[in-house]
A = this chain, B = another copy of it.
Amino acid sequence: MFNELPVFKKLVRNADVMNRPENHLKHLLKIKTRFETFSRTGAGLFYDFSRQRINTDTLNLLFDLAEDRGLKNRFRAMSEGEKANRTENRAALHMSARSFIDEPVYVDKKNVMPEIMEVRKEIEDFTEKVRSGKICGSEGKPFKSIVVTGIGGSHLGSEFVSTALAHLADNNLSIHYLANVDIHAFGRVISEIDPERTLWIIISKSYTTTETLANEELARAFMKEQVAEPEKHFAAVTGKGNHKNSHLNSVTQTFRMFDFIGGRYSVSSAVGCLPLSLYLGYDKFEKFLKGAHEMDRHAIEAPACENLPLIAALISVWNNDFLGYPAQAIIPYADPLSRLAAHVQQLYMESNGKSVTEDGTPLTETQAGVMIFGEPGTCAQHSFFQMAHQGRPFPIDFIGVAKAWYDQFSHRFKGVTNHEQLWANLIAQPLALAQGTDDTDGSFADNTNDKSKFFPGNRPSSTLVIESLSPENIGRLLAFYEARTIYEGFIWGINPFDQFGVELGKRGAADIREKIARGDNDTDPGTQFYLDLVKNAGFAKDKGSHR
């Protein structure tokens, strides 16, 4: 267990030291070498953790921890096909899905690279045919919209990437997401598309995901009324073995998922590859894969003291288990990264939101994953940053983009372009959070009793910089957060690849669904109330509005 290591106790003692007033960030930041000491470049990303509440002792102890936990060996073994998903006895080879190295990777003595490359090639061919109009709809019209029908791991990653790279889409195809089983989602989607020019991509590894299959059935019923040959308007991404069931027969093409790639890590597999390649063109999608691959090699090969995702994982565990922060915000200063936080929220909280190690031992002295939330800056500054500065503190990952995509808008306001204005904020916020300001300096407070204008500071953050919103950089960013998430899981010794926690609710929903379908009653008065409400599609009369 992590907390039984000698280094754990040393870190606890170091946290006591860092909690002393003399180690407030406002003092630490005066050390001129600090920025140089606590920042790194790797795989095209720049990572500045100089505003974290650490000193060189902390960092060295954290590297000892990395060593003691054998993190790098475990990560490399995972990349080579070891069954890193131990509770489910599966490999975790999302990195192979974007590998460009001509070397075999063995799972159960079988080299999986040929089938991975085959799927990639199939998607490249399919993309070319769809975008050139060689594959088209029932009425002979080229496709203009794709509806990505999948939920969770089949949704959020692609949504993040397609939003981040929307400026590179050539409007050949628009992209829409149908994830929620809520009928309002379906209603919205069909209001956005022209059925005769729409390709539905059904994504489900097991082909048993209730939401996705319910939406597929709705889509098929809808398309049957719109076109002569609806099967020409469906493609599937699935790991289902023989591809022979009635659903999978009636699609234009099926693309294979593998059981060694989990949903939340599947953006680089056919799950993300098919929709993103159709949306952006295969060449741009391949650049995304190459960026992710570069970060993978860095995460595997760079020594701990230079390894960005590994350092980020160590700091995250430090903030969580030693300084006691229960949550973390991700604030990209880039509007197109608006869905990054939602993607990392799933990636990280589903991977590390656990309380037992992979061999079944409950975590006692430590807590695994924290809560993740975020919105883009500068918007977040005008929203919840009040709390960041003066309320309950939470560590922040700031993310910056060095170069703007739009050179043409260089109008200046107050002497700077919008991009420079954005950066002025991105530079200032981490400093303000770290340094705070005393009410006694007179700059904010009108008198020393006015604590409402007191900023305690000492609020930790990191800043990650990518050079631009290119496909390569989005790939690097995605792979950075994947590797960081996994490295954290390995520190606690939990399995970051299973998700047994979703099963109980699923089973309960199936029970209730059967009750609704059969019109059964329930012995629990609360449950019965809701069953009645569903049956009546509204409140019963005796539960009407009153004050």
At the interface, yes or no: A106 with Cβ under 8 Å from chain B?
no
* Cα(A5)–Cα(B507), bound, Å: 45
Additional 4 contacts, C-beta under 8 A, given A167-B191, A221-B411, A369-B391: A151-B379, A369-B392, A425-B509, A427-B534
Task: Check A369/B387 contact, CB under 8 A, given A151-B379, A534-B423.
Answer: yes
Q: Are A504 and B349 touching (Cβ within 8 A)?
A: no
What B residues does A44 contact at CB under 8 A?
A: 545
Q: Are A352 and B391 touching (Cβ within 8 A)?
A: yes
Count copies of this chain in the complex: 2
At the interface, yes or no: A404 with Cβ under 8 Å from chain B?
yes
Which residue, A41, A182, A415, has most C-beta atoms of chain B within 10 A? Answer: A182
Interface residues of A in 146-160 (CB under 8 A from B): 151-153, 155-156
Q: Are A385 and B526 touching (Cβ within 8 A)?
A: no
Interface residues of A in 514-531 (CB under 8 A from B): 514, 516-518, 524-527, 529-531
Q: Are A353 and B392 touching (Cβ within 8 A)?
A: yes
At the interface, yes or no: A437 with Cβ under 8 Å from chain B?
yes
What B residues does A411 contact at CB under 8 A?
A: 217-218, 221
Provide the A386-406 mask, 1 if CB < 8 A to any CB of B, else 0: 111111101000001011111
At the interface, yes or no: A107 with Cβ under 8 Å from chain B?
no
At the interface, yes or no: A546 with Cβ under 8 Å from chain B?
yes
CB proximity of A246 to chain B, nearest CB, Å: 14
At the interface, yes or no: A250 with Cβ under 8 Å from chain B?
no
At the interface, yes or no: A487 with Cβ under 8 Å from chain B?
no
* Cα(A355)–Cα(B301), bound, Å: 45
Contact of A511 among B151, B156, B428 (CB under 8 A): B428
At the interface, yes or no: A543 with Cβ under 8 Å from chain B?
yes
Which residue, A46, A156, A467, A534, has most C-beta atoms of chain B within 10 A? Answer: A534
Task: Check A184/B405 contact, CB under 8 A, given A418-B214, A428-B508.
Answer: yes
Q: Are A182 and B217 touching (Cβ within 8 A)?
A: no
At the interface, yes or no: A298 with Cβ under 8 Å from chain B?
yes
At the interface, yes or no: A416 with Cβ under 8 Å from chain B?
yes
What are 17 inter-chain pairs, A to B, with CB distance below 8 A? A39-B529, A42-B547, A48-B526, A156-B383, A180-B376, A181-B422, A183-B405, A183-B422, A186-B409, A213-B413, A368-B391, A385-B501, A386-B501, A402-B533, A402-B536, A414-B513, A453-B503
Residue of B with least CB distance to A510? B424
Residue of B with least CB distance to A525? B35
Interface residues on A, range: 35 or more
Task: Check A29/B391 contact, CB under 8 A, given A167-B187, A335-B182, A516-B424.
Answer: no
**Segment among A97-105, A135-143, A278-286, A326-334 that sits at the interface with chain B:** A326-334
CB proximity of A219 to chain B, nearest CB, Å: 10
At the interface, yes or no: A499 with Cβ under 8 Å from chain B?
yes
* Cα(A360)–Cα(B46), bound, Å: 41
Contact of A467 among B191, B302, B539 (CB under 8 A): B539
Interface residues of A in 201-244 (CB under 8 A from B): 210-211, 213-215, 217-218, 221-222
Provide the A85-97 mask, 1 if CB < 8 A to any CB of B, else 0: 0010000000000
* Cα(A360)–Cα(B404), bound, Å: 43
CB proximity of A496 to chain B, nearest CB, Å: 11
Q: Are B186 and A501 touching (Cβ within 8 A)?
A: no
3 tightest Cβ-Cβ pairs between the two chains A and B = A353-B387, A152-B382, A415-B517
What B residues does A524 contact at CB under 8 A?
A: 29, 35, 431
* Cα(A228)–Cα(B495), bound, Å: 63
Residue of B with least CB distance to A150? B382
* Cα(A387)–Cα(B489), bound, Å: 13
What B residues does A505 contact at CB under 8 A?
A: 381, 385, 389, 425, 428-429, 432-433
CB proximity of A52 to chain B, nearest CB, Å: 12
Contact of A526 among B35, B326, B469 (CB under 8 A): B35
Q: Are B421 and A513 touching (Cβ within 8 A)?
A: yes
At the interface, yes or no: A350 with Cβ under 8 Å from chain B?
yes
At the interface, yes or no: A362 with Cβ under 8 Å from chain B?
yes
* Cα(A405)–Cα(B352), bound, Å: 37
Residue of B with least CB distance to A437? B504
**Segment among A7-15, A66-74, A443-451 that sits at the interface with chain B:** A443-451
At the interface, yes or no: A19 with Cβ under 8 Å from chain B?
no
Q: Are B467 and A538 touching (Cβ within 8 A)?
A: yes
Contact of A409 among B211, B218, B346, B432 (CB under 8 A): B218
Contact of A392 among B179, B370, B421 (CB under 8 A): B370
CB proximity of A438 to chain B, nearest CB, Å: 11
Q: Are A436 and B298 touching (Cβ within 8 A)?
A: no
At the interface, yes or no: A36 with Cβ under 8 Å from chain B?
yes
Q: Are A452 and B356 touching (Cβ within 8 A)?
A: yes
Task: Check A187/B386 contact, CB under 8 A, given A421-B181, A444-B500.
Answer: no
* Cα(A185)–Cα(B332), bound, Å: 13
CB proximity of A331 to chain B, nearest CB, Å: 12
Q: Are B210 and A414 touching (Cβ within 8 A)?
A: yes
Task: Check A422/B182 contact, CB under 8 A, given A411-B217, A495-B452, A505-B429.
Answer: yes
CB proximity of A78 to chain B, nearest CB, Å: 19
Which residue, A499, A505, A511, has most C-beta atoms of chain B within 10 A? Answer: A505
